[in-house]
Chains A and B, each alone.
Chain A
Amino acid sequence: EAGVTQSPTHLIKTRGQQATLRCSPISGHTSVYWYQQALGLGLQFLLWYDEGEERNRGNFPPRFSGRQFPNYSSELNVNALELEDSALYLCASSLSNGYTDTQYFGPGTRLTVL
């Protein structure tokens, strides 16, 4: 069974540009989560999508946004990039929106902002 996949593996942008990151969940999973892993800041919860709707977001500005498509894949968009947005962005999926469901993570997208 294929795991969570993310693309691209690496992304290099300059300040002010926009970045789009993509995630495909495990087949049959309906919930998708996004986390940021920045140096010195640890793993921070960004967004949660379930059944095409944004269900929750972490303490990030509105320039971090995304969506979930009918096939449950997801896109994370970061507008007006800042240097501190450089990080590993991890996507996870779970079977449903159950509180005890396990989140399974993809390999991540390394975003570098110059």
Chain B
Amino acid sequence: AQSVAQPEDQVNVAEGNPLTVKCTYSVSGNPYLFWYVQYPNRGLQFLLKYITGDNLVKGSYGFEAEFNKSQTSFHLKKPSALVSDSALYFCAVRDPDSWGKLQFGAGTQVVVTP
């Protein structure tokens, strides 16, 4: 079965420090990976995706993600975190066995303190 794992329930970081949110995946075939962010009482906002090509993907709001095939990881990064980055972050993978379906990780709560 296809799956993604987000090993940290919560990540705490001080404003201005680098932010990393971890994601590992398990999928047959080529992985198509996505990152979304959810603010309280809101839907999911798309940040970025990896389809093919350059392993470093740049996205919205200064976020980027590094695809590492050998480690089956797709970690989300931001060089300098803002208090407004505090939210719930989801990693997702397209499920090649179930067309249309995104398989989501459990989510990681990011808390950025001033």
Contacts and interface: CB of A to CB of B under 8 A. Distances in A.
Interface of A: 4, 6, 31, 33, 35, 42-43, 45, 48, 50, 55-56, 58, 90, 92, 97, 99-100, 102-108
B100 A105 contact: no
B99 A42 contact: no
A90 B49 contact: no
Interface of B: 32, 34, 36, 42-46, 49, 51, 90, 92, 94-96, 98-107
B94 A56 contact: no
Given A42-B106, A97-B99, 17 more contacts: A6-B43, A42-B105, A45-B101, A48-B99, A55-B99, A55-B100, A56-B98, A56-B100, A56-B101, A58-B98, A99-B94, A99-B99, A105-B43, A105-B44, A105-B45, A107-B43, A108-B43
A107 B42 contact: yes
Given A48-B99, A97-B100, A102-B46, A43 B90 contact: yes
B63 to A, nearest CB: 15
Name the residue in B92, B95, B96, B99 with the highest tally of chain A Cβ atoms < 10 Å from its Cβ. B99
B46 A104 contact: yes
B51 A100 contact: yes
B100 A48 contact: yes
Contact of B94 (A4, A97, A100): A100
A85 B20 CA distance: 34
A101 to B, nearest CB: 9
